[in-house]
Amino acid sequence: MFMRFIRYVSGLLLLAQVSMAGAVLNIEIIGAGEHQIPVAIVPLGGDDKLVQSINEVVTADLQRSGLFRLVDPTGKSPHEPAEVNYADWQVRGAEALAIGTVAVQPNGRIEARFRLLDVVKQTELVGQAVSSSESQIRAIGHRIADLIYEKLTGDKGVFSTRIAYVNRQGKSFRLIVADSDGDNEQVVLAHSEPIMSPAWSPDGSHLAYASFETGHAVVYVQSLYTKQRVVLANFRGSNSAPAWSPDGKQLAIVLTRDGSSQIYLVRPDGSDIRRITFSGAIDTEPNFSPDGQYLLFTSDRGGSAQIYRMPVEGGAEQRMTFGEGNNFSPRHSPDGKSFVFAHLRNGKFHVATQDFQTGQMTVVTEGGWEKKPSFAPNGKLILFASEARGRGILATVSSDGRVKQHMFTQSGDAREPVWGSNF
């Protein structure tokens, strides 16, 4: 019985601890996809001479997705198609093989030449040269991992995308932008008052957020390139919950200047503010549909917090969630067919999704302190705030609930995460 349990655990539960030198986050992966694709990644020729191993980035990315089984390449190191003996890889059970070389160019840039081969059909699936400055060498690894992911799963990879979150350590708050693996972090804002609700502009160039640095919640829009920012809304009471329209030409925000929390539209420079909800209840957390036509939002107009939907230009508001518990923080999936939200039931927060067409709700996590979910741009992963070992952490779960990962910051609590919407 016990042995069967062990077999069950080792069979179904892949628990990998990826702890990279210099990495800001420690990552734990729990679970595995139903059909893991066996792939062999041969370290690029020249990888061992780089300041940062590209191989390390590629394998960590693929492993984190839970969709791949990494076949050990030990003993074989082909770098060109002519050097590949396909029988070697068929014996090891690999279906695909990644090979290539990397070198420092005369101008100091790093260039990797990479190929992905189909071991069964003995053909090339993709070949590409990827280059970057030495300081952005991890980006090469993410790009290669994206190519492998896309070729083998049919979905676009999200390893090159970025996330934003708030790190809270005592009374110090930092708004952070990082690669999707938590590395390469950049501090956007740091001070001693809370920061909430970062929201990416559709092109990834700006963040909107609410900050308490002047004593109450004020919404700012800040350029990630110039670091310059504008006050989007600073009215009496609370200004918060910014959400960008897909065309980037306006934002939905929540103001209390006319009473309770209501939703308004505003241009990114703070002009042309107009109110679009008139409930007198708490209407908050607006989120645009990918076609820009609808807003999902949280409201307690029915007596408790639930998800509602309305046309952006006003019109009939429709309740979306029913049944036991309360629901918060809705966000559309990138294909617009479903939405993800935080579901509070029996004192626990769960990540849940709901299909627009069927109305079917699916709870994708066991529950705990799981808040603020958002989809990766490919819709295959959901990023959310969670808690483990008494700390606020970032976590992801595959949309089918099968693969989870926990990302621990080196110190403090990670809160308010959001996945960038562009690839």
Footprint of another protein on this chain (CB under 8 A)?
A: 194, 196-197, 210, 212, 215-217, 236-238, 240-241, 254, 256, 259-261, 282, 284-285, 298, 300, 304-305, 326, 328-329, 342, 344, 347, 369, 371-372, 415-416
Q: Smallest distance from the beta carbon of 91 to another protein, in angstroms?
A: 52
CA distance 58 to 74: 16
CA 159, 220, 292 angle in degrees (round to 5)?
Answer: 60
Q: Smallest distance from the beta carbon of 293 to another protein, in angstroms?
A: 22
CA distance 57 to 39: 15
Determine the residue type at 324.
Answer: E
Cβ(184)–Cβ(161) under 8 Å?
no
91: phi then psi, degrees, rounded to nearest 5: -60, -40
The secondary structure of 319-346, three-state, reads: ECCCCCCEEEEEEECCCCCEEEEEEEEC
Closer CB to another protein, 17 or 346, in the complex: 346
Q: Smallest distance from the beta carbon of 233 to another protein, in angstroms?
A: 13
- Residue 229: both structure tokens together: 């920012």
Closer CB to another protein, 108 or 215, in the complex: 215
DSSP letter at 368?
A: B
Closer CB to another protein, 79 or 331, in the complex: 331
Q: Smallest distance from the beta carbon of 328 to another protein, in angstroms?
A: 4
Q: Smallest distance from the beta carbon of 169 to another protein, in angstroms?
A: 14
Where are the alpha helices (H) located in 85-164, listed in sequence order?
86-91, 137-153
Closer CB to another protein, 95 or 285, in the complex: 285
- Residue 373: both structure tokens together: 């979910």
Where are the alpha helices (H) located in 165-242, listed in sequence order?
none
- SS percent in the chain: helix, strand, coil, step 5: 15, 45, 40
Closer CB to another protein, 84 or 276, in the complex: 276
Pairing of strands 206-211, 274-275: unpaired
Q: Smallest distance from the beta carbon of 80 to another protein, in angstroms?
A: 53
Q: Smallest distance from the beta carbon of 283 to another protein, in angstroms?
A: 8
Closer CB to another protein, 152 or 342, in the complex: 342
Cβ(378)–Cβ(157) under 8 Å?
yes
Tell me the C-alpha to C-alpha distance, in Å, between residue 264 and each of 152, 214, 294: 43, 22, 14
Where are the alpha helices (H) located in 13-136, listed in sequence order?
54-65, 86-91
The residue among 413, 415, 411, 385 whose CA lies nearest residue 397 is 385
The residue among 345, 289, 293, 290 whose CA lies nearest residue 321 is 345
Q: Smallest distance from the beta carbon of 415 to another protein, in angstroms?
A: 8
116: left (phi over 0), alpha (psi -120 to 50) or beta: beta
Helix (H, G, I), strand (E, B) or coil at 16: strand
Closer CB to another protein, 287 or 333, in the complex: 287
Closer CB to another protein, 25 or 342, in the complex: 342
Q: Smallest distance from the beta carbon of 352 to another protein, in angstroms?
A: 13
Q: Smallest distance from the beta carbon of 421 to another protein, in angstroms?
A: 19
The residue among 325, 328, 407 whose CA lies nearest residue 374 is 328
Closer CB to another protein, 18 or 263, in the complex: 263
Closer CB to another protein, 155 or 300, in the complex: 300
